[in-house]
Amino acid sequence: MHSLTLPKWTRPSSLAAALAAAASVAVAGPLDEPHLNIIPRTEAEAARIAAATALTSDFSAPGRFEEMSAGAATVRVTPDANAFSQPSGNISFEHELDFKVGNGLFRKIWVSSPSSTLASDGLGPLYNARSCQRCHIKDGRGHAPENAEDNAISMFLRISIPGKPEDAIPEIKDYIASLPDPTYGTQLQDFSVAGHPAEYRLQVDYDPVEVPLSGGQVVTLRRPTYTAADLGYGPLHPDAMLSPRVAPQMIGLGLLEAVPAADILALADPDDADGDGISGRANIVWSHEFGQPMLGRFGLKAGNPTIKEQSASAFVGDIGISNPIFPAASGECTDLQADCQAAPHGDGDDRGFEIDDEGLDLVTFYSRNLAVPARRNVDDPEVLRGKELFYATGCTSCHRPAFVTHRLKDQPEQSFQLIWPYTDMLLHDMGPGLADNRPEARATGTEWRTPPLWGVGLTSQVSGHTQFLHDGRARSLLEAILWHGGEAQPHRDSVVDMPPVDRDALIKFLESL
């Protein structure tokens, strides 16, 4: 048994500033976007973009186009749990067919080898789920297990051990070296095919933490302790670092991928040069697809640079499915798991991999085009008051409201869209309360990527719960705010001290996103 207790955007937006920021975070690569077919912006377009994305000071009415969270790709809100499962609103008929085929692969239930269903075999031998949809249920958020009988199908523990200086990636400045656990690899799998023990059972225990608020309200938070129980292959390395991860929502990923790297890097302020207390940093990661450093965008610590690479790493790590980017036939099995390495796999037919490049591209296309629903109640007076408080409290320092995506030659759905994701895509120190004490590329053990807030108000409708943060410990949006620390501590404290009516308005604004 092994336990871990987890205790403004006012930046310059010019390309010159972005280049300077890039030089400060990595030796090479963060501005490279080889996965995108970009049409450069003109000076006139840059001026229009600056005006369209500037912070507002008028809270008497919604901003222009603000209800269209994803620009022309926005879709209407369905009244059921399928609100996050719609294709981009501006998708063509031909591309909608690709979306549906990708959805089929995303939902496919994989089986173990050998099997008569050759196109679907290759599961495991160790795995966390048998399909992408099993974790990203209805393309929404996963949840932490509520009790001993509840499974952890949409949650797992990442694992690594500290590396040595020679294990760092020299092309990336400030890279924090880490290595897989010698026995258990980079994540713990709680399922396995017949004849192989699972790696562990995830156990979560909570301690109550009372937080008094203005107006006499008291909120009880729950502080989690994570236990890797019933280890199937012996003890973890004595220096093992564990990090709990709940599956995030899937909407809007293609638009986030299409935000210019220069615009994100221009927001970075690692030394807090402007003195606002916010020190956003870019995570620069090694791309296995392109063999170079790139800006990290996806994952809870921005550990993957593209949707395709994120999808490929999930296939091999979560399901044990080999693919062109991560070709290991035995998935996450390590050299110390000899029987697992020697088990039958599904690479022996014409596919070459258990999911080939065509299949991976279709899943990537599906993931890229899961649409963001339109905002609700944008002109409600209480929502407008909550929006004003969101800005005045300084939440926009990290949750940047708007971007404009690249012009793209071959992705019309994501091309040149004004979007409202409420994220800066950067890493921020969130304090000891949320720390997992495990680094990832340049991200430290206290840093997390600012999560996008679009769609957050539909979580209950889509996922059937209101669990938030990287490990689902927060059971409401207010609890999520109260866990903020580090750079966000003053903003969190402002919410604690707000009159209750203002707190209610702030939450109502968030629920409109």
C-alpha closest to that of 392 among 513, 509, 218 = 509
List the alpha helices (DSSP H) in 369-439: 381-392
Calpha distance 401→199 (Å, rounded)? 41
Give how far Cα 67 sits from Cα of 188, 251, 454, 469, 484, Å.
40, 16, 11, 24, 27
pLDDT at site 348: 62
Q: Which amino acid is at 207?
A: D
| Percent above pLDDT 90 for the chain | 88
CA 261 to chain centre: 17
pLDDT of residue 218: 98
Q: What is the pLDDT of residue 29?
A: 60
The amino acid sitting at 472 is G
CA angle 431, 432, 433 (to 5 degrees): 95
CA 39 to each of CA 42, 259, 408, 409: distance values in angstroms, whole numbers, following the listed order? 9, 13, 6, 7
Residues 61-80 have a mean pLDDT of: 97
Of 18-22, 407-411, 478-482, least confident by mean pLDDT is 18-22
The amino acid sitting at 286 is W
Structural Rg of the chain based on CA atoms:
22
Q: Compute the distance between CA of residue 499 and CA of residue 94 in angstroms, rounded to an integer.
A: 52
Nearest to 281 by CA among 432, 419, 487, 456: 487
| Structure token digits, residue 152 | 């952890």
At 225-265, the pLDDT tens digits run 999 999 999 999 999 999 999 999 999 999 999 999 999 99
CB 186 within 8 A of CB 317: yes
DSSP-based three-state secondary structure for 62: coil
Structural contact between residues 355 and 346, judged by C-beta atoms closer than 8 angstroms: no
Q: Please provide residue 469's backbone torsions phi and psi, each rounded to the nearest 5 degrees.
A: 75, 175
pLDDT on residue 117: 79
Residue 4 has pLDDT above 90, yes or no: no
Q: What is the DSSP letter of 473?
A: -
For residues 284-311, average pLDDT: 97
How much is the pLDDT for 2?
47
Bridge partners of residue 427, in order along the sequence: 281, 449
Q: How confident is the model at residue 3 (pLDDT cuts 50, 70, 90)?
A: very low
Euclidean distance between CA atoms 463 and 388, whole angstroms: 28
Say yes or no to pLDDT of 22 above 50: no
Residues 6+ apart with CB under 8 A from 20: none
Distance between CA atoms of 331 and 42, rounded to whole angstroms?
45
For 333-349, the pLDDT digits (tens) are 999 999 999 999 887 66
Distances (CA, A) of 269 to 9, 18, 281, 374, 387: 11, 11, 6, 31, 25
Within 8 A by CB and 6+ apart from 170, the residues are 27
